[in-house]
C-alpha cells in the first residue's frame, strides 16, 4: 500500500524552503499532493491557477508529486485524496505551538496524522511573505525560489 501525504499551504510563492520539505518528505512517503489552500480572506500575489502552474512545471518529471487547490478543511481534502498524512514544516518555536494544536485537532476529527519536519537552519529566514515583499518592489528573488521555477508562466 502506498503512503500518501498532502503538503498544504498557500505557496504564494513556492520557495526553496517548501522545495526542501517536499524532497525530504519523499523519503517518508511514496506520493505527495502539494495542496494549495484557497483563502478568500487573504490577498495573494499569484492567482491559485498561476501557483498550480508554476509548481506543476517544477515537478513535471516527477510522477510522485501532484498539485491541486482546495477550499475546504485540510483533513477533508486529505481524506478525499486518499492521504493518511499531512506534512508540515516549522521554522521556529513560534510555529510549533500552532502546528501542534492543528495536528492534534486533525487527528481527533479524522485520524489523519501530521508529521512535522524542521526547516533546515540555512533556510529558516526564507518565507513566502518576504519573497512576495521583494517581488512587489522588483527585487531579484531567484535565490529564494527553486532552481528552474518560472515566476512568469
* CB contact at 8 A, 32 and 115: no
Is residue 50 annotated as a catalytic residue, yes or no? Answer: no
Catalytic residue among 91, 100, 107, 132: 91
Is residue 139 annotated as a catalytic residue, yes or no? Answer: no
Is residue 91 annotated as a catalytic residue, yes or no? Answer: yes
Question: Angle at CA 78, nearest 5°, toward 74 and 13?
Answer: 60
DSSP letter string over 44-99?
PSS-HHHHHHHHHHHTTT-TTEEEEEE-S-HHHHHHHTT--EEEEEESSHHHHHHH
Is residue 128 annotated as a catalytic residue, yes or no? Answer: yes
Catalytic residue among 27, 42, 43, 136: 42
d(CA 68, CA 17): 19
* CB contact at 8 A, 54 and 146: no
Catalytic residue among 18, 25, 51, 88: 18
Task: List residues with catalytic annotation.
Answer: 18, 42, 91, 128
Amino acid at each position: 500500500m502506498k503512503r500518501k501525504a498532502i503538503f498544504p499551504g498557500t505557496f504564494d510563492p513556492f520557495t526553496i524552503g517548501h522545495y526542501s520539505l517536499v524532497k525530504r518528505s519523499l523519503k517518508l512517503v511514496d506520493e505527495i499532493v502539494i495542496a494549495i489552500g484557497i483563502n478568500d480572506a487573504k490577498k495573494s500575489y499569484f492567482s491559485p491557477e498561476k501557483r498550480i502552474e508554476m509548481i506543476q512545471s517544477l515537478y513535471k518529471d516527477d510522477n510522485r508529486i501532484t498539485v491541486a487547490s482546495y477550499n475546504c478543511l485540510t483533513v477533508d481534502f486529505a481524506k478525499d485524496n486518499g492521504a493518511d498524512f499531512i506534512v508540515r514544516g516549522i521554522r521556529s518555536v513560534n510555529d510549533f505551538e500552532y502546528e501542534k494544536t492543528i495536528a492534534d485537532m486533525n487527528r481527533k476529527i479524522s485520524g489523519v496524522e501530521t508529521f512535522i519536519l524542521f526547516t533546515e537552519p540555512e533556510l529558516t529566514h526564507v518565507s513566502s511573505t518576504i519573497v512576495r515583499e521583494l517581488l512587489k518592489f522588483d527585487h531579484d528573488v531567484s535565490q529564494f525560489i527553486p532552481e528552474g521555477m518560472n515566476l512568469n508562466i
